Structure 1
């Protein structure tokens, strides 16, 4: 097995602050745009690999900053979502996308079962297994698990402008989701809403469902418009906003 994994294959998950004391566990599935050289950029050019189709711009930096601010553990994906999406169930069509927004992904066409299984084994399962083990260990220690996934979205999608600054996505964790929205809305200039620009479902989401709702761990996903966190100043602003909001919720519960 070791011989088939070349040196430009990083760990499938980057774990930060695993012994952090916070009840919050941070997840950033789309942290990286890395594609190993053997995949020849999946037939895309360098510009495509810096776009939102390859990763969630700014999300990793916000997650890292928030982990330090909250003393929270964090789990960040090591590969581009174009190889396999860590936030999609394996049975859905866009687990390994053939098209992202309006861009075809040539390197994902006509994949055989062996290649699909290889990506699952080397990228998907190690991430999910490490996160699952962490949550189980915390539960065994009598600690609460409150999952906060950090994502970002493009301001314009298929020609449609998105006016929100951020969205808070949730299904069963309505109390947590609405509390987080209420805290963020304390800034009257912020346009924040529930389940935008996407909703949550078992066919479209993984962490919130499998590691969250099904295990009775409160779980939300935060979507931040990526132009707001594309530079260090924006990252700092949003890490501070989220820290303040999450600490306020923690103090009330």
Structure 2
């Protein structure tokens, strides 16, 4: 079966495990996209999934790639994002967590993720998960050494309907521990926009299931916000530009 290799998961035809856009951005913001990519290593074929499933929310945070680039331009901020599908390995999960390499997602069986041995799992961590987080840690460390503040904006998107439940929010701001002041301020800024439904720790509450923000923001004392935008609102260029403007305005209004 394609993908059942424990060695050299990424070949010469595969993308790098992460991309960094606008690396020299001068603002305090660092944008990240744990689920912005949809690539699957050539060695893994199609993971036993249809093209439709590989384009669904189970595989990628729809709209985040375009939103992140638009927001990076608007804020003059770097945008570091994952190249690979969250079904290969979820970079917002601890590698030891069962959801890091899911065998089932929103009712869809991920056949190539069943019955993986430890070596196969470890290779996905080594090739994709670890380099992405090392790049993030290195960026933050370099900015700190240069006397620059980093405010971490973690960009995600959510499906309008999950397991039959309609989700009414346009955007949600997630926060948990550490420097929550920025997240709470951006929440208030967004709530001032007429007609926009803003969730406070909705549609998800940040907790120990999250990996990226707790790993990089909490111990470094960084201000942060995890931002969830409903996918049907950022599915095209127009929606991505609109929400980039809204998020940028709220973010800039929250850093005084």
Same fold (TM over 0.5): yes
Structure 2 match to 1:84:
89
1:188 counterpart (159, 181, 194): 194
C-alpha root-mean-square deviation of aligned residues, in Å? 1.5
Question: Does structure 1 residue 71 correspond to structure 2 residue 81?
Answer: no
TM-aligned CA deviation for residue 150 of structure 1: 0.5
Question: Does structure 1 residue 104 correspond to structure 2 residue 104?
Answer: no
**For the Cα contact (< 8 Å) 1:170–1:208, is it kept in 2?**
no
SS in 2 for 1:164: coil
1:174 counterpart (170, 180, 184): 180
Question: Does structure 1 residue 214 correspond to structure 2 residue 202?
Answer: no
Q: Which runs of 5+ in 2 are unaligned?
A: 1-6
Structure 2 match to 1:153:
158
TM-aligned CA deviation for residue 206 of structure 1: 1.2
Q: Distance in 2 between matches of 1:8 and 1:29?
A: 22
**For the Cα contact (< 8 Å) 2:9–2:43, is it kept in 1?**
no
TM-aligned CA deviation for residue 7 of structure 1: 2.9
Q: Which runs of 5+ in 1 are unaligned?
A: none
Q: Distance in 1 between matches of 2:91 and 2:14?
A: 16
Structure 2 match to 1:164:
169
After TM superposition, which residue ranges in structure 1, 4 or more long, deviate above 6 angstroms?
none
Size of the aligned set, in residue pairs, is: 250
Task: Tell me whether 78-87 or 185-194 shows the greater mean CA deviation.
Answer: 185-194
Q: Distance in 2 between matches of 1:214 and 1:107?
A: 35
1:47 counterpart (48, 52, 57): 52
Change (3 A) 1:85 1:4: closer
SS in 1 for 2:218: helix
**For the Cα contact (< 8 Å) 2:39–2:83, is it kept in 1?**
yes
TM-aligned CA deviation for residue 19 of structure 1: 1.8
